[in-house]
Structure 1
Amino acid sequence: MPNAPEHAGPPPRRVTRVTVERGGPVVVEGPVEVVTDDGSVAVSRRFAVAICTCGRSAAYPWCDTSHRAPRPPAAEGR
C-alpha cells in the first residue's frame, strides 16, 4: 500500500535519555529502579537521577558529588 505506515503495531515507547558525564555520574531520566550488584533495589520517582560511577558516594547508588572532592595522593611504591 502506498500510504501505509512503514511499521505497523503499537506506537513506540518513550525513549529514556541517559547522559554519561566524563569523570562524573551517569544521569538517567526518571523515574527509575536501580538494581545494585548485591541485588538490592533503589527507587527514585524524580524526573532525572544521577547514578554514582566513582564508588565514593555515601548515598550509593545515587551520586552525592563525592567525585568532585580531591583524591588523596597515592602512596609511593604502589
Structure 2
Amino acid sequence: MPGKTERPRRVTVDGEGPLLVEGPVEVVLEDGTVAASRRFRAAICTCRRSRTYPWCDTSHRRRARRGTT
C-alpha cells in the first residue's frame, strides 16, 4: 500500500542459541538458494550443527559448556 509504513523485523540474538527472527522470513544461503519460513518466528542456526540448516534444531544444546566436566 502506498504510504503504509511497515514496522522493522525484530531479531533477537542469544549468544548460546539461534537468532530468532520475526517472520515470515527468507534466508539466502551461501550457494544462492533461498530457504523460506512463513512462521511467526523463525530460529536461524548460528552454530551450523543443525541437520535442518539454516533452521535451528537445538543441536547446539548437545555441545559441552565451557568450565563443565
Please confirm whether the aligned pair reaches a TM-score higher than 0.5, indicating the same fold.
Answer: yes
Larger Rg: 1
Coarse TM-score class (shorter-chain normalised): 0.7 to 0.9
Paired residues, what number?
63
**Which one has more relative contact order, counting CA pairs under 8 Å at least 6 apart?**
2
Q: Structure 1: which 4+ aligned runs deviate by more than 2 Å?
A: none
Shift of 1:11: 4.0
- Superposition RMSD on alpha carbons, in Å? 1.4
- Deviation digits for residues 32-56 of structure 1 (CA, Å, limit 9, x no counterpart): 1110111111011000000000010
- Sequence identity, in percent? 63
5+ long unaligned stretches in structure 1:
1-9, 72-78
Pairing partner for 2:60 from 59, 67, 70: 67
5+ long unaligned stretches in structure 2:
65-69
CA distance in 2 between counterparts of 1:32 and 1:40 reads 14
- 1:76 corresponds in structure 2 to none
